[in-house]
Amino acid sequence: MRRSYGAPLCAAICFALLGVETVISFSIVPQLHTHGRIAAHRPMVFGRSRHAPRTCAKVGPTMEVTSDYVAKPKPVLDSVNFPSDMKKLSMAELKQLAYELRWEVIESVSKTGGHLSSSLGVTELTVALHYVFNAPEDRIVWDVAHQCYPHKMLTGRRSRFSTLRQWGGLSGFTKRKESEFDCFGAGHSSTSISAALGMSVAKDLTGKPVNNCIAVIGDGAITGGMAYEAMNCAGYLNQRMIVILNENGQVSLPTGTPSAAGVVPAGALSGSTSRILSSRPFQDARSVAKTLTKLLPEDLQKITRKIDEFGRGFVSGEEGAVLFEELGFYYLGPIDGHDLENLIPILENLRDSESKKPVLLHVKTEKGYGYLPALKASDKMHGVAQFDIATGKQKKPKSGPPSYTSVFADTLVELARQDPTVCGITAAMPGGTGLDKFGKIFPKRTFDVGIAEQHAVTFAAGMAVDGLKPFCAIYSTFLQRGYDQVIHDCIIQSLPVRFMVDRAGLVGNDGPTHHGCFDLAYLGTLPNIVIMAPADEIELMRMVKTAHAIDDKPSVVRYPRGNGFGAEGLNKLFGYNLKSTPLPSEVSALPVGEGRMIRRADPEAKTKVAILSLGTRLCEAVRALRMIQQEGNGIGVTIADARYMKPLDKELIRSLVEEHDVLITVEEGAVGGFGDHVNHFLTNEGLLDSGKCRLRVMVLPDQFVEAGGQKQQYDFAGLQAKHIAATAFRALDRQGEALEVLAAAPAVGMGKPSVA
């Protein structure tokens, strides 16, 4: 006979609300088990706990590493090539597997670089998921997926980890083309719940007998509005799915929002009650109780619902449960995400449940778990270059010229010192965009809005309405997520938001999801906007100041990942006469829409080629000049820096066409960008009608460029000096010389792995 304990539970809650400490025994639920054995009966205390405080000490052991590190033997991991190999492992063997898997991640990433601490934090969770569920039939969707290294190692890709994030190697994120176990690709955040929900609906509509779709999302990614849109829809549809909220106390990159450091793991109370809540009897009892309350008067229904909410709050120990319940989810947790003896039976109960209601399982983990150098690091060693396992010290290249990101940050600081209306906005990327440096000096004028690019753009527009000068610093690939807001809230209203578009062009080892290929195309179609692209770090300083001065419309400065050239490089490439790189305070703004000449062709040359570059391909254009303009071949080369895509310097372009036999445009963007705007202008003005000048447009290829070194990616894309020179020769019908210049400059070798 099935026994109900809904009434005792409600009574205990009512006593607790009155301040009476009450003990309830749940030994009436014999179905509860942990991995094949009956769960130990523990009483539960409402009002306050006799067994554990609401917050507990840090979880789990830390792996100590000696300076004479030797790779650890991994007998259990060696026996697992695919998740099917895990199914017969005992609990002790599963724990050993997690231990060995964590060390395999550490050893592999120490050689290649990559995202370390996020993978270390979900090792046990990954083992539990693949032990309990039957991927790839059961769908496991990793949000962002920078934490997917343990998942990849358990799904047939361990032997390829030496190629991680390198040309022709494993992606640093989940990728559908790479494995059937990667059911959904990622790289951007907050997409997993929508994707898993879609898969769940598809399984139902196509009559699949088993429907287990799991979304694993972190406490950073769940701040993205899309995650809540998906949960709202899942609750509305009452669609079976599991969302695992991985709370690690620090989102993928440090944000400006104060948060408690470390992890507050779940204690015995939370672990045992989550098992109870996820068991069939408790779910069935709750469902029956709610059905019966529909027969009661409305006022009594409200009371019983409120009692139920209080009961869930006391049992889970988390006030946040009510939020997820209001969205239509059944909330469980929080539980210790490093405790396999808790995780596995809870996931088994969820797997075997016949309920159609969506479930949110709240787990708490620690980034960098088990590796002391990561735990001690301020960023938990989130993204690392190659490193020494014993110390965690990263093997970074010798310091050189400053990065474009730091040049932007220094210039913004200098502007803010002079102008109190200057503000900086970022969407959970203060370190990546340089606004962490700005925030240390001007904390009250620094706004990290979380993973919310749409909000960031409109928030900046609102600032501009009332007289502030917002600089919205967002990666090119992430600005795609706020495109409608750029148009609707900034462009149409002529609000002077300054968009600092970092990581423009190809970014290296993070690959297709992080390349900034499309901003010139998607922003260039818009009227009433100024778009700039610096060729070097001095030009970047000047363009940031130019954007500051533009007060009647939005403006964009796009710049790449990587370092500038330094004084010596600038002198050599572009004819500067510098003793040192100037400070931001020593440069001035630019005239809007005015390009510049870098080199002029010999007026006596029989044939003349003009190369018009936008952005940092200018250095490759200068190098191409030396390949094209050789003694005795009669070719003179002009190099010009467009500086602006909107507005175009039409007089400069007109003069280049009128005075040269070939005009080549070069940019670090996809088709539809700068070169197409130049072509549109020349065609409409009839400047190509005579056939005297031939136009060639060089852009990124019409395909996604895979992960690798930046130089290798640009070599593949055909945007190096040799490709520019070969394009010039082919335009002059000198095919032999085109082949010679390509043959003389071999393909770029494998780029060294790094982190974007």
**Homologous superfamily (CATH) for 404-574:** Thiamin diphosphate (ThDP)-binding fold, Pyr/PP domains (3.40.50.970)
Q: Which of 124, 348, 453, 620 is catalytic?
A: 453
Over residues 249-264, mean pLDDT: 39
Q: Which of 481, 503, 561, 734 is catalytic?
A: 481
Crossing angle of the two packed helices 91-112 and 340-352, in degrees rounded to 10:
110
Return d(Cα 507, Cα 196) in angstroms, integer.
29
Q: What is the pLDDT of residue 297?
A: 53
210 contacts 200 by C-beta, under 8 angstroms: no
Number of helices (H), then strands (E), belonging to the chain: the values are: 29, 23
Q: Which of 240, 286, 367, 608 is catalytic?
A: 367
Q: Which strand (E) or helix (H) includes residue 330?
A: strand 330-336
For 314-338, what is each residue's pLDDT tens digit? 444 455 577 888 889 998 888 999 9
For 706-753, what is each residue's pLDDT tens digit? 999 999 999 999 999 999 999 999 999 999 999 999 999 877 764 443
Q: Could you give the residue ranges of the DSSP H alpha helices within 424-579?
A: 430-433, 435-441, 453-465, 476-479, 483-485, 519-524, 537-549, 566-574
Most confident of 349-353, 389-393, 608-612: 608-612
Q: Would residue 667 show up in a list of annotated catalytic residues for this protein? A: no
Q: What is the DSSP string of 411-436?
A: HHHHHHHH-TTEEEEESS-HHHHTHH
Over residues 344-351, mean pLDDT: 93
Fold agreement between 75-250+265-300+317-384 and 596-744: yes
Place of tokens 């520019």: 724
Q: Which comes out higher in pLDDT, residue 159 or 222?
A: 159
Q: Which strand (E) or helix (H) includes residue 607?
A: strand 607-614
Q: Which strand (E) or helix (H) includes residue 641?
A: strand 635-641
The band of 32, judged by pLDDT with boundaries at 50, 70 and 90, is very low
Q: Which two tokens stand for residue 684?
A: 């409409």
Return d(Cα 661, Cα 656) in angstroms, integer.
9
Q: Is residue 542 over pLDDT 50?
A: yes
Neighbour-count burial for 356-373, b at 16+ CB within 10 Å, e otherwise: ebbbbbbbbbbbbbbbeb
Q: Which two tokens stand for residue 371?
A: 């590796």
For 117-136, what is each residue's pLDDT tens digit? 999 999 999 999 999 999 99
Over residues 412-438, mean pLDDT: 95
Q: Which two tokens stand for residue 473?
A: 């610093």
Amino acid type, 570: L
Q: What's the CATH number for 75-250+265-300+317-384?
A: 3.40.50.970
> Which has the minimum average pLDDT: 252-256, 458-462, 533-537?
252-256
Q: Would residue 453 show up in a list of annotated catalytic residues for this protein? A: yes
Return d(Cα 715, Cα 229) in angstroms, integer.
41
Q: Would residue 102 show up in a list of annotated catalytic residues for this protein? A: no
The correct answer on CATH 3.90.230.10 for the domain covering 596-744 is: no
Q: Is residue 605 over pLDDT 70?
A: yes
The band of 280, judged by pLDDT with boundaries at 50, 70 and 90, is very low
Partnered with residue 245 across adjacent β-strands are: 217, 362
277 contacts 379 by C-beta, under 8 angstroms: no
Compute CA 301 distance to the chain's CA centroid, rounded to the nearest angstrom: 44
Domain ranges of the chain: 75-250+265-300+317-384, 404-574, 596-744
Return d(Cα 613, Cα 597) in angstroms, integer.
11
> Which has the minimum average pLDDT: 28-42, 270-284, 387-401, 630-644?
28-42
Amino acid type, 165: R
Over residues 137-153, mean pLDDT: 95
Q: What is the DSSP string of 567-600?
A: HHHHHHHH----SSPPPGGG--PPPTT--EEEE-
Report CA dihedral (182, 187, 188, 194) to the nearest 10 degrees.
0
